[in-house]
C-alpha cells in the first residue's frame, strides 16, 4: 500500500493543502503545523509521487539525451560531461541511444510529443530541417552539442581551426606530403565536422603556399578499421606521405596499426596526428587535436537549463576551441 498525501494529512490532523504547502516550502504555514506535518511525514516515511506531481506541473525533472553512444568514444566523453552536470543539478538523465538513421528520426519525431523529459540534448547528430521545425513547434527546449542547426542553440568545436593548427604544425615541422584521412560526411554541409576539418587543412596549405594533392585525401569510416584501410591506401602510393592527419583518434589508431604492418616506424618514418583527444590517444601517446569534450557537455547542460527558464530565447552558435597536443607520434620528416 503506497502512502499518499492524504495519509499524512490524516496523521497530522490537517488538510492535504497544508501538507502540500509544507512539502513545497510554500509560505503561509504556521511553524507549529509545519512541524506537525513534518513529523507525520517522517513517521510514515512518505515521499510524494513524482508521477502525480508531473501530472499537474507538466515537469518531469528529467532531461533526455539523444546520442549515437556507440559509434565513437568521443560521444561517450561528451556524455560524461553531460552526466556530471546533470547529476549536480539533481536532474535525471534519460538516455536515448541511436544506432541507425531510422531510429534517430523516430526519436526526433516522437520524443517531443512524449513529454517524458523537460528538455533535450542532442549530441553529434544531424537534424533535417523538417524535423527541426517539428521539434521547434512542440516547444520542447533543445540544445545541440557537436552539431548545428539554425533553429537551435548549437555548441560546436571549431573544427576548421583545429584542423588548421594540426596541419600547420606538420608543415612547420617540414612535412610537405601530408595525407589526410577524413571521416564520411553525413547530412548538413553547413556545419559538418568532416568538411570543416578538410577546410582547415586547405587553409593551412594555402597559407604555406603549398599544394594539397587530391590523391592524398582518403575518406573512411570514423573507426579504427576505416583508418587502417585508408592508411594502407595512402602508404602504398609511390611517393608516400611523410605524415598523416586523421579526422579522428580512432582512425589515427588504425594508421598506427597499418604503419606497424608495413614496418614503418612512427614517428621516424611516418608522423601521425589524430583528432578528438580521447583517452586512447593519451595511452598511445598519439599527437592529436584535443576537443574540450567534458566542457562541451557541461556547458550544454547549463545552456539548456537557461533555455528552459526562458524558452523564447533565440538560438545562438557557440564555438569552443580545441587544443593541439603534440606527443610522440609526430616529428620532422627524415
Q: Which positions lie near DNA, rule CB under 7 A? A: 2, 4-6, 13-18, 20-21, 23-24, 26-30, 32-34, 46-49, 52-53, 55-57
Q: Which stretch binds a copy of itself (CB under 8 A): 21-29, 76-84, 167-175, 201-209?
A: 76-84
CA-to-CA separations, 247 to 208, 213, 241, in angstroms, rounded: 21, 17, 16
Looking at beta carbons only, is 99 or 189 nearer to a copy of itself? 99
Binding residue count for a copy of itself, defined by CB under 8 A: 35
275-294: contacts with a copy of itself (CB under 8 A): 279-280, 283-284
Closer CB to DNA, residue 62 or residue 324? 62
**Choice between 114 and 265, CB closer to a copy of itself:** 114
Kindly state the smallest distance separating residue 103's Cβ from a copy of itself, in Å: 8
SS3 82: helix
Q: Does 115 bind a copy of itself (CB under 8 A)?
A: yes
Q: How many helices (H) and strands (E) would you count in the chain? A: 13, 12
Q: Using an 8 Å Cβ cutoff, are 242 and 251 in contact?
A: no
Element spanning 287, H or E: strand 287-290
Query: Which range, of 8-16, 85-93, 161-169, 305-313, touches a copy of itself by CB under 8 A?
Result: 85-93
Residue 71 binds to a copy of itself (criterion: CB under 8 A): no
Alpha carbons within 13 A on the beta-carbon side of 309 = 5
**Least distance to DNA from the beta carbon of 56, Å?**
4
Considering CB distances under 5 to 8 angstroms, the limit depending on partner class, which of DNA, a copy of itself, none binds residue 229? none
Decide the pairing of beta strands 317-320 and 217-220. Answer: unpaired
152 binds, among DNA, a copy of itself, none (CB under 5 to 8 A by kind): none
The β-bridge partners of 246 are 181
Q: What is the DSSP string of 150-213?
A: TTSEEEEE-HHHHHHHHHHHHHHTT--SEEEEEEPP-S-SSS-HHHHHHHHHHHHHHHTT----
Torsion (CA) 256, 261, 264, 266 in degrees, nearest 10: 20
- Could you say whether residue 110 binds a copy of itself (CB under 8 A)? yes
Identify which of residues 42 and 283 has a Cβ nearer to DNA in the complex. 42
Site for a copy of itself in 198-227 (CB under 8 A): 224
Q: What is the β-pairing status of strands 178-183 and 217-220?
A: parallel
Least spacing, CB of residue 57 vs DNA, in Å:
6
Question: In this complex, which beta carbon is closest to DNA, that of residue 54 or of residue 173?
Answer: 54
Q: Measured between alpha carbons, how far apart are the two ends of the chain, in Å?
A: 77
Give the footprint of a copy of itself on this chain (CB under 8 A): 47, 49-52, 54-55, 60, 62, 69-70, 76, 80, 83-84, 87, 92-97, 99, 103, 110, 113-116, 224, 253, 279-280, 283-284
Amino acid at each position: 500500500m503506497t502512502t499518499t498525501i492524504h495519509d499524512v494529512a490524516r496523521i497530522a490532523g490537517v488538510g492535504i493543502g497544508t501538507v502540500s504547502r509544507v512539502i513545497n516550502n510554500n509560505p503561509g504555514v504556521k511553524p507549529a503545523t509545519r512541524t506537525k506535518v513534518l513529523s507525520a511525514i517522517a513517521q510514515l516515511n512518505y515521499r510524494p509521487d513524482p508521477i502525480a506531481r508531473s501530472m499537474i506541473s507538466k515537469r518531469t525533472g528529467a532531461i533526455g539525451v539523444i546520442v549515437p553512444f556507440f559509434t565513437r568514444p568521443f560521444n561517450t566523453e561528451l556524455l560524461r560531461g553531460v552526466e556530471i552536470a546533470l547529476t549536480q543539478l539533481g536532474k535525471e538523465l534519460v538516455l536515448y541511444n541511436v544506432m541507425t538513421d531510422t531510429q534517430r528520426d523516430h526519436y526526433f519525431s516522437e520524443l517531443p510529443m512524449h513529454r517524458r523529459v523537460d528538455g533535450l540534448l542532442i549530441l553529434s547528430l544531424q537534424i533535417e530541417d523538417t524535423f527541426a521545425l517539428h521539434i521547434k513547434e512542440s516547444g520542447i527546449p533543445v540544445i545541440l552539442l557537436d552539431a548545428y542547426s539554425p533553429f537551435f542553440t548549437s555548441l560546436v568545436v571549431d573544427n576548421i581551426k583545429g584542423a588548421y593548427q594540426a596541419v600547420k604544425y606538420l608543415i612547420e615541422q617540414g612535412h610537405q606530403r601530408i595525407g589526410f584521412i577524413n571521416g564520411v560526411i553525413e547530412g548538413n554541409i553547413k556545419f559538418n565536422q568532416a568538411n570543416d576539418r578538410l577546410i582547415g587543412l586547405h587553409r593551412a596549405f594555402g597559407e604555406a603556399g603549398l599544394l594539397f594533392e587530391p590523391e592524398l585525401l582518403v575518406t573512411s569510416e570514423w573507426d579504427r578499421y576505416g583508418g587502417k584501410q585508408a592508411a594502407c591506401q595512402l602508404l602504398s602510393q609511390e611517393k608516400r606521405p611523410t605524415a598523416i592527419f586523421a579526422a579522428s583518434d580512432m582512425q589515427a589508431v588504425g594508421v598506427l596499426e597499418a604503419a606497424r604492418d608495413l614496418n614503418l616506424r612512427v614517428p621516424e618514418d611516418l608522423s601521425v596526428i589524430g583528432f578528438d583527444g580521447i583517452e586512447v590517444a593519451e595511452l598511445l601517446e598519439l599527437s592529436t587535436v584535443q576537443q574540450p569534450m567534458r566542457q562541451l557537455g557541461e556547458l550544454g547542460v547549463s545552456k539548456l537549463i537557461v533555455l528552459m527558464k526562458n524558452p523564447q530565447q533565440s538560438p545562438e552558435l557557440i564555438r569552443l576551441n580545441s587544443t593541439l597536443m603534440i606527443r610522440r607520434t609526430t616529428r620532422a620528416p627524415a
